[in-house]
Structure 1
């Protein structure tokens, strides 16, 4: 039981908020601990809606990256060097999740590789971390066939096993560019979703008209299977193409079928225009993608920094525009993950972060260490450090 004294919910006027039994309540419970928030801004827990917990190299010796430029080069290299590096998906996922918590994240959606080379080792490792850290962060697992399904016999069956084991979402990847079989790939993805009653989250790196074709096929499957509101397209680089009339039509179809978009706002690829997505009524979330892995040396799991990247990539400069970037990294991701009781209202789960700044826009600009992070009312991080030590 706690009373958060002198906090400013979403940058509004200073007030006191009360917590009992893990949720925000109207009045201070007897015996509540009082925490002076010093007039800082309180926001709901940050949401890491797209990352890869099983493959970070955090805490390991520096990896010298000399991988070729193509997507398939990175995929093939990673699959092979996981063995030579001795990467343990449980340890690595725990390290990254703890780093995320230190920056104010309270829930994570992680894509976890399923392939015929490593089997279900990644799924099992991240599931162990999910259980181990369940009191400080919620972890949602996507069974992700990064190495493809159609060209690698046995992968569909492994995806089926991963979902039966406890993965939460059916993943997919470029139906044309990686799978080379859009019909076969999407048949498998939506068959698995229907069989297990799971939502779908598909990586779509394909650009321009090719990506538009794949997106139209995903939309058609969503409609045919009655999965409106249960399908997410991650990256969606094709929405950044030059043909804006075609993009407007795609976005209208996405909105009609309640298909969500998750963007990581990379500097190296076209990106969806988040103001257009908002205007169309398309739920949008964000994530860090890979962090310090064999693909690249960057990333720190800070979703306030990711809000900054969204702002920079979309030329968001006004305060209300920067607030949109933050909303994508909080309420947007939570809505896509269908998080119950998310927010700062009475009855909502007390998952929250104290951030520095006079306004929400300044909090994103400053990205100062988080003064305090709460999960169900319990303190999980103080002054930028998680209460749990990384292995």
Structure 2
């Protein structure tokens, strides 16, 4: 494939040659360059070239994308919101597998070709939601890389039979073992983490801990996770999702946690909440902590937000952090693209600070998105729709539609 006249990360126009699933050559744009025999040509038309987006925190299993808008009926707290989902998800206008597949299709069409999705497993839905996400992963396997996380949204210990269902999902191919609020929801962090780390070790999968716990309680649970990582030698295997209160205790604790995350290669997944006590994004970047971005639920029974477009969520990440400088807004793009890629595949290097703009060099994977915009920062502000999406060297979407 020859991609003509594109501007990688907003730089000077180039022509990009793709061979198989890799970028093979990059040369200054030559309007007169002939295409090689049997070479597919993509006309960049001067658009920006970015790595494709990586959504590393999405709940495909609860989506209502494409369905009529409904009033929000959730109740406060994780358990109340979870019960609201449990009371309503079976009554949706469209069957769950169709909703999940349609949402994933829209995400790919808008430029997201790497996805880590939660799949709720509990005694109510059993493996029904997990099966729907696994089916969508298989259906769109040629258009996106999808990791499926078995996720105990209702806790691990509160309802007998949950552990057995989680293990069955791992036997059936779950890629990641999930945990949630070990202290606040299950109220027994030791037993909770015994199950999470035990199953992850047994099935050799990564871990993602969903943490909503406030202040000192959140720090306490996080310290227990860090202790486990050290004791079991599981560096580079754990992601902390949300964790938006870890900066609430003191500057000393904030600094220590960032240092330990960098040392143990603990990643963070954010959904760009307006939370004032998050670990500071720029300090995480400076320390070399892997950070990825996700949309969380999408117009589901938890929240009316979300539209399948991670470029929109990149704008939100910049906005909620109060960024105005182009370098900082572009860093949000790096987080939304290669930051997430480095969480899904730890062989992908961490971002090397705020100014790092990786993913578009010779030898890099040809997961790309072409988007209209004067600069990367303007693309985040304007969020244009003139997009071409490439996955593993193949055009998979054009103009927000799969091809």
State the TM-score bracket (shorter-chain normalisation): over 0.9
Q: Do structure 1's residue 266 and structure 2's residue 279 form an aligned pair?
A: no
Aligned with 1:302 (options 301, 309, 313): 309
- Could you say what the CA RMSD is over the residues aligned between the two structures, in angstroms? 1.7
Q: Distance in 2 between matches of 1:182 and 1:214?
A: 7
CA–CA distance in 2 between the matches of 1:47 and 1:81?
Answer: 29
Matched, 1:39 2:46: yes
Number of the residue aligned with 1:49: 56
- Give secondary structure in 1 for the equivalent of 2:245: helix
Deviation digits for residues 300-341 of structure 1 (CA, Å, limit 9, x no counterpart): 121111111111111111111111111110111000111767
Q: Distance in 2 between matches of 1:319 and 1:242?
A: 30
1:80 correspondence with 2:87: yes
- 3-state DSSP of counterpart to 1:334: helix
Q: Aligned residue for 1:343?
A: 359
Cα offset, 1:29, TM superposition:
4.9
Paired with 2:290 and 2:83, the residues of 1 have a C-alpha distance of: 32
The equivalent of 2:379 in structure 1 is 363
Q: Is the 8 A contact 1:239 1:273 kept in 2?
A: no
SS of alignment partner, residue 196 of structure 2:
helix
Q: Could you tell me the TM-score, scaled by structure 2's length?
A: 0.92
Matched residues in 2 for 1:244 and 1:304: separation? 31
Mean Cα deviation higher: 74-83 or 142-151? 74-83
Report the counterpart of residue 209 of structure 1 in structure 2.
Answer: 216
Distance in 2 separating the partners of 1:70 and 1:122: 22
In the TM superposition, what are the counterparts of 1:275-354 in structure 2 within 5 Å? 275-338=282-345, 343-354=359-370
Q: Is the Cα contact below 8 Å between 1:53 and 1:89 reproduced in 2? A: no
* Distance apart, 1:94 and its partner CA: 0.7
Uncovered stretches (5+) of structure 2, i.e. residues with no partner: 27-34, 349-357
Aligned to 1:385: 401
Matched with 1:255 is 262
29 and 134 in structure 1: CA distance in 2 versus 1, 3 angstrom threshold: farther
Unaligned runs of 5+ in 1: none
Equivalent residue number for residue 352 of structure 2 = none
Does structure 2 conserve the Cα–Cα contact (< 8 Å) formed by 1:63 and 1:294? no
321-330 or 243-252, larger mean C-alpha shift: 243-252
Does the CA contact (< 8 Å) of 2:211 and 2:242 recur in 1?
yes
Asked whether the 8 Å contact 2:106–2:400 carries over to 1, the reply is no
| Aligned-partner Cα distance in 2 for 1:191–1:201 | 13
The normalised TM-score by structure 1 is 0.94
Note closer, same or farther for the CA distance 1:308–1:108 as it changes in structure 2 (3 Å cut). Answer: same
Alignment match of 1:60 (pick from 37, 59, 67): 67
The C-alpha deviation readout for 1:58-106, integer Å capped at 9, x for no partner, is: 2233333222222211011112222233763321211111111121111
